[in-house]
Amino acid sequence: GRGRERTLTLNWREAGQKKLEAPAKTGFGTKLIDLNVTRELRGTIARDYRDDGLKVEIRIPLVE
């Protein structure tokens, strides 16, 4: 049977900035990262624009 799935979780935090808002349009670098994480690595990426900076969580399933 299948064992417990393992996941790599990367938490990125940028602090000390003024209040951030989501950009009006997505840039090339963001699109590239999103495609690599979601399609090639079958993971998820979540961005949280906060009053004190940016928080990003990337989750990638690990295959044995």
Mean pLDDT by 10 residues, the chain (64 residues): 81 84 90 96 94 93 86
Residue 1 lies in a domain: no
Give residue 2's pLDDT.
60
Residue 11 lies in a domain: yes
Structure tokens at 13: 């935090």
Tell me how long the chain is.
64
* Count of structural domains within the chain: 1
Q: pTM of this prediction?
A: 0.80
* Domain enclosing residue 15, as ranges: 6-62
Q: Residue 53 falls within a domain, yes or no?
A: yes
pLDDT at site 1: 47
Place of tokens 């624009």: 49
DSSP collapsed to 3 states, the chain: CCCCCEEEEEEEEEECCCCCCCCCCCCHHHHHHHHHHHHHCCCEEEEEEECCEEEEEEEEEECC
